[in-house]
Amino acid sequence: MSKFYQAVGLVCLMAVVQVSCSTSKVAPATTKTATAKADSSDKAKPKTGMKAYKAVITKEAVSDSGVFMVHKVGEKYYYEIPDSLLMRDFLWVSRFASLPSGLGGGYVNAGSSVNEQMVVWQKFGDKIVLKTKSYNAVAADSLPINISVQANNYQPTIYAFDIAALSKDSSGYVIDVTKFFSSDIKTFSGLDAEMRKNYKVSRLDDSRSFIQSVKSFPLNIEVKQDFTYDAAEPPSNSETGAISLLMNQSMVLLPKVPMQPRINDYRVGYFNIRQLDYGSEALKADEKSYIRRWKLVPKDIAAYKRGELVEPVKPIVYYLDPATPDKLRPYIKAGVEQWQEAFETAGFKNAIIAKDPPSPEEDPDFSPEDVRYSVIRYVASTTRNAVGPSVSDPRSGEIIESDIIWYHNHLRSYRNRYLLETGAANPTARTLDTPMDDLGEMMKEVITHEVGHALGLPHNMKASSAYPTDSLRSGAFTQKYGIAATIMDYARYNYVAQPGDENIRFVRQLGPYDHYAINWGYRYLPEARTAEAEVPTLSKWIDEKTGNPMYQFGSGSGGYDPESQTENVGADLVQASTYGLKNLKLVAPKLYDWTAAKTNDYDDLEELYDELLGVWSRYIGHVVTNVGGVHENRLKPNQEGYIFTPVDAKTQATSVNWLLTNAFASPDWLHESKISRNIHHANYVDEIRSLQARHLNSLLSPDRLARLMENEVNDVRYNALDMVSQLQRGIWSEVYKGTEIDIYRRNLQKAYLDRMNYLLNEKPTASRFGTPVNISQSDIRSIVRGELVKLQQQLKSAQNRYKDDLSRYHVQDALVRIDTILNPAKS
């Protein structure tokens, strides 16, 4: 795609001045703005360095009309900038169009935004300069402080261009942009400083770099740059000593008059923009936050005010990519238009529409690169993903355009999860050849999720905990409410339902929160002339839903709220994971029969078995979050209750006991000989060790222990010592009982000692998201030392009771390790 993107989630993502835009590709208007006026008689005489128009834009020029006229003359590219667009606000987004594998550690992909900024073109002497323009700091033009805001937020000049010629009618300026787009300009580059350092990038190789294309549309210009950098240590293809990138530079003309914004409220989930308002009456600059949303205005405001459903002046329209397979088109359209239900709650009908791409006869100017068109892109890629980015006006939050990207292989991931998580209770999932209706329903819901991002909605991870866990075993409940309160959670499948449960919905769907959020963000408030005037109404709507879990929002950031997690369903995490594991234990022994026995091939079996281990690990992780967990409820001071409430002591202790039984006990049920002995030669035991150690380390992480220590002052009768003592006794239960220690448990116990050594003797690395704690000045090391001494004493008394050599050797080794941990100087 060659349009701007702002990525969701990923995620990670306003009232109403109508802006009319041309719907055909025409040359830009030439009306002069006050700031760009010039003496036409002076223009008629080319100044020093300028040439006549026809000497620059020769008969050989290939021209493309649009927001600027773009000319290609030989190998040179020229912009013809009209006076009327000097000092107008443009949004410039730099993104990857294509990139090498592994770039950025694998966390970026084609379509990822590198930088987004607002820019203006202005005339300065005999030059045209491109400057950044920020709306992070603002003040009304009428206020004296506006002078200071401008003086103290002077924006840098990105590039200065010589004026090559005046336009034919002297109403604009011609500049040569060839060098600009051929240069390694840091603000537009795909390689940031860290990448350049890591990959040892020395320079842009001009001989292998070129401008691939420049296209002009009525509201945007799209430039593709094929750049190759010399790099001593590239992320892939190391023998080439180079990194090649295809960058896309998008420049979009913003509306002359910004839309009236809607003030963000953190209790409802919306992507947002932020500004510092120095015109505030407060004793500091006010931080203002506006939600990102499309501009929807009712055609008939009187009917809208009467409560009738009314079509918007300009609906949100998505076109399907011409490359989309015919059999998938109905599901993609249904995924887009499923949001019509939610927009009807906000008073609009036909607010969002999906269309097939127009034929050349219907619209000869149609291009997915044209910012006037939003497109569901179907990408031939092995990537298993879909994304829903959008372009928004940084002045108001208005979403201007969006492209949903669907990668070809994504349905395979959903097929696999469908089989593993619902196969025990859902007969149609027990096959590699999932029925097309089932696959289509999954695709529809993924598209709905991604369109939700493009409507301004971020992930709401709290919604998957809104429903009582046993309600997910009810056909009547799941058919009405789905499996989570919103489509914007990562709650993909109902893994709670058990064999024998009837009429169950297994796949996610639009939920009550989606109707609530769209109404809150998009309902037109005709009586409110300012963003501030809307706030009482918007706040009232939120207050009315206080305490109802169906309408709560939680981002899931921080990792401390057990109600805000990815991939979980149900309010009771222990109960939900218990049901999930029961189902997984029924699926595991059938996996061979559903795959290799049917295909006479082991590839699918290996892929699904690896994913089965991941599902098991995910169910465990959900329960881990209860330990040291803190519930977060987004409240304002006029609402009762606390924002942060620790998980109660009983739930935390119960969760540790559950983990000892289901995560840290030897998982014999996972070892199916006809699976493991046909897909790998020797790594099964170590893979189990790795998964168990990951969750053990998570339980014994400094940030979790910090939250457990906080329980002492929050009147929660379960603290860090309680957890470590309970965990240690369970991990080393064979030592207390004198029973044989099998290979899984020996590995786990060694992992426990490694983690205790980390906490006692090493300097833990700082976490971006963890709860901060000073380990050396907290109780953590006191607890670790005290519990290790207790364990040491127990091991000494138990070592001679073991008859089998491996268990005895293991205990003796553990004693040596503990002595080294407690006395590192001796080693």
pLDDT tens by residue, 238-266 = 888 999 999 999 999 999 999 999 999 99
301-310 long-range contacts, CB within 8 A, separation 24+: 301/524, 301/526, 304/347, 304/524, 304/526, 305/526, 307/347, 309/344, 309/347, 309/348, 309/349, 310/347, 310/348, 310/349
pLDDT at 98: 82
324-332 long-range contacts, CB within 8 A, separation 24+: 324/376, 324/378, 325/378, 327/436, 328/378, 328/440, 328/443, 329/356, 330/440, 331/440, 331/441, 331/443, 331/444, 331/447, 332/376, 332/406, 332/443, 332/444, 332/447
Mean per-residue pLDDT, 442-470: 95
**Last residue of some domain: 227, 253, 279?**
253
Placement of tokens 């409410």 in the chain:
481
Mean per-residue pLDDT, 470-483: 98
State yes or no: cis peptide before 10, omega within 30 of 0: yes
Amino acid identity, position 26: V
Helices within 97-191 (DSSP H only): 145-151, 178-182
Mean pLDDT computed over every residue of the chain: 88
333 in Cβ contact with 373 (< 8 Å): no
Considering the domain boundaries, does residue 98 fall inside one?
Answer: yes
Considering the domain boundaries, does residue 329 fall inside one?
Answer: no
Q: Which residue has the higher pLDDT, 183 or 406?
A: 183
Mean per-residue pLDDT, 340-359: 95
Considering the domain boundaries, does residue 800 fall inside one?
Answer: yes
352 in Cβ contact with 343 (< 8 Å): yes
Nearest to 268 by CA among 491, 456, 19: 456
pTM higher than 0.75: yes
Considering the domain boundaries, does residue 369 fall inside one?
Answer: no
pLDDT of 106 above 70:
no
> What is the rounded CA–CA span in Å between residue 606 and residue 610?
6
pLDDT at 2: 43
Considering the domain boundaries, does residue 651 fall inside one?
Answer: yes
pLDDT at 772: 84
Q: What angle do CA 738, 741, 744 make, to 5 degrees?
A: 155
597-601 long-range contacts, CB within 8 A, separation 24+: 598/431, 598/432, 599/432
> What is the rounded CA–CA span in Å between residue 390 and residue 374?
9
**Furthest C-alpha separation in the chain:** 106
Placement of tokens 């060694």 in the chain:
750
440 in Cβ contact with 331 (< 8 Å): yes
> What is the rounded CA–CA span in Å between residue 568 and residue 552?
16
Share of the chain above pLDDT 90, in %: 70
6 in Cβ contact with 391 (< 8 Å): yes
Candidate from 28-42, 93-107, 113-127, 775-789 with smallest mean pLDDT: 28-42
Query: Per-residue pLDDT tens for 516-575?
Result: 999 999 999 999 999 999 999 999 999 999 999 999 999 988 899 999 999 999 999 999
Mean per-residue pLDDT, 787-792: 97
348 in Cβ contact with 366 (< 8 Å): no
Q: What are the structure tokens assigned to 722, written together?
A: 């309680």
pLDDT of 179 above 80:
yes
pLDDT of 9 above 70:
no
Confidence of residue 751 (pLDDT cuts 50, 70, 90): very high
Which range, 133-142, 272-281, 565-574, has the best average confidence (pLDDT)?
Answer: 565-574
Sequence-separated (6 or more) residues with CB below 8 Å from residue 196: none
Nearest to 225 by CA among 204, 253, 194: 204
Q: Which residue has the higher pLDDT, 558 or 586?
A: 586
> What is the rounded CA–CA span in Å between residue 730 and residue 664?
9
Q: What angle do CA 8, 11, 12 make, to 5 degrees?
A: 170
Considering the domain boundaries, does residue 559 fall inside one?
Answer: no
Mean per-residue pLDDT, 82-92: 95
Domain count, the chain: 2
Query: Per-residue pLDDT tens for 11-51?
Result: 333 333 333 333 333 334 433 333 333 343 344 445 557 89
pLDDT at 47: 54
pLDDT of 766 above 80:
no
Q: How many residues comprise the chain? A: 827
3-state DSSP helix/strand/coil % of the chain, to nearest 5 = 40, 20, 40
> What is the rounded CA–CA span in Å between residue 406 and residue 450?
9
517 in Cβ contact with 545 (< 8 Å): no
Helices within 588-635 (DSSP H only): 591-594, 596-599, 603-624
Q: Parallel, antiparallel, or unpaired for β 90-98 and 113-124?
A: antiparallel
Placement of tokens 């009908």 in the chain:
349
Mean per-residue pLDDT, 64-86: 96
Mean per-residue pLDDT, 427-445: 95
> What is the rounded CA–CA span in Å between residue 139 and residue 147?
9
Cα 210 to Cα 179, 180, 576: the distances in Å are 10, 11, 55
> What is the rounded CA–CA span in Å between residue 810 and residue 787?
19
The tally of CA atoms less than 13 A away on the side-chain side of residue 607 is 15
Q: Which residue has the higher pLDDT, 340 or 826?
A: 340
> What is the rounded CA–CA span in Å between residue 483 and residue 509?
7
Considering the domain boundaries, does residue 577 fall inside one?
Answer: no
pLDDT at 274: 85
pLDDT at 14: 31
pLDDT at 7: 37
Q: Which residue has the higher pLDDT, 676 or 67?
A: 67
**Last residue of some domain: 224, 253, 282?**
253
Q: How many CB atoms lie within 10 A of CB 140?
A: 11
Q: Parallel, antiparallel, or unpaired for β 286-291 and 62-64?
A: unpaired
Measured in degrees and rounded to the nearest 5, phi and psi for residue 153 equal -135, 45
Which structural domain, as residue segments, surrounds residue 92? Answer: 34-253
> What is the rounded CA–CA span in Å between residue 569 and residue 514?
17
Confidence of residue 137 (pLDDT cuts 50, 70, 90): very low
pLDDT of 659 above 60:
yes
Confidence of residue 280 (pLDDT cuts 50, 70, 90): low
**Last residue of some domain: 220, 253, 286?**
253
pLDDT of 381 above 90:
no
Share of the chain above pLDDT 70, in %: 88
> What is the rounded CA–CA span in Å between residue 472 and residue 480?
11
Considering the domain boundaries, does residue 782 fall inside one?
Answer: yes
Q: What is the 3-state secondary structure (H, E, C) of 684-705?
A: HHHHHHHHHHHHHHHHCCHHHH
pLDDT of 3 above 70:
no
125 in Cβ contact with 30 (< 8 Å): no
Q: Which residue has the higher pLDDT, 518 or 715?
A: 518
pLDDT at 12: 35
> What is the rounded CA–CA span in Å between residue 485 and residue 462?
9
